[in-house]
Chains A and B, each alone.
Chain A
Amino acid sequence: MSDFRITLRPALGSAPRPASRGLSITAMPEGHVVQVLGRPHTPDLFGVLERATGAAHRSVRAAGPGQWFIVGDAPLSRDEFAALSTALQPHATAVDQSHGRVRIRVEGTIVERMLAKGTAVDLDPGAFPVGTSAMTLLGHVSVHLTRIEIAAFEVMVLRGFAESLWEDLVRMSVEFA
């Protein structure tokens, strides 16, 4: 038995808050992130995903062909994950990534202008409406972008890159202070 006790601490607990008035950057609750990988050549899985997520406070985010993320603000218990995983079988496989990916909420009327400094994705509301997701690079960091409200984006990033990305976002928003 190890003498170490594993302590869970938020990835962005000590990150400084930005001083910008036009934009707010907040760490979202580290609830759960489940990656879903569909079997090749499976027809549209959207119905299966809808049923598997149920009425719980979870959202399904597209992440490329045959790949999705199921995210939510509340931690997922072992039983809940098992139920979710079973509901997706045999069409898709669920992988718990709650420990590995961090979500950041970026909000403001000029949020697209700030994010456009880092990514080439067309973020115009016409081309990227609410609910749309894209895997892309933000600077040199690979992120998953989702428009969750008309003026708010969720930026999901690997945990190890979270603090670095946070600093990038703060620097990108300095102009709009």
Chain B
Amino acid sequence: MASLISCPHCGARPKEEFTIKGAVLSRPAADAGHQAWTDYVYLRDNPRGTHREYWHHTSGCRRWLVVTRDTVSHEVGFCQDAAAAKLAEVRP
């Protein structure tokens, strides 16, 4: 597991300060079918390689981030504020 996350607001911080929510998925429309919502809520890929995830900087700036990390090498790539990325999926 990646141990240092470079928060865009706070700089490099250990993973213990963060809470991981999971994969970044686009939220289906409210009236999308049962299958689309089941996929969104329950079904996850387990990718090998680059993975985009929501991380919450719980013990720091308390912002939601989008962290790109490699599930094979544990390398952390790009970290971005979720609001800056204009990702509407994150709800408080």
Contacts and interface: CB of A to CB of B under 8 A. Distances in A.
B14 A135 contact: no
Interface string A111-155: 000000000111000000000001111000010000000000000
B10 A134 contact: yes
A134 B60 CA distance: 7
B27 interface: no
A135 B11 contact: no
Interface in B22-77: 59-63
A137 B59 contact: yes
A65 interface: yes
A64 B11 contact: no
Interface range, B side: 10 to 19
B21 interface: no
Contacts of A122: 11-12
B61 A64 contact: yes
A65 B60 CA distance: 10
Contacts of B61: 63-65, 67, 135
Interface residues of A, number: 13
B63 A135 contact: no
B62 A121 contact: no
B63 A136 contact: no
Contacts of B4: 120
B76 to A, nearest CB: 14
A120 B14 contact: yes
A136 B11 contact: no
A67 B60 CA distance: 11
Contact of A64 (B14, B16, B62, B83): B62
B91 to A, nearest CB: 15
Contacts of A121: 11, 13
B60 A64 contact: yes
Nearest to A122: B11
Nearest to B8: A65
Interface of B: 4, 9-14, 16-17, 59-63, 81, 83
Of all A-B residue pairs in the complex, the 7 with the closest CB atoms, nearest first, are A64-B61, A120-B14, A137-B59, A142-B59, A135-B60, A65-B9, A137-B17
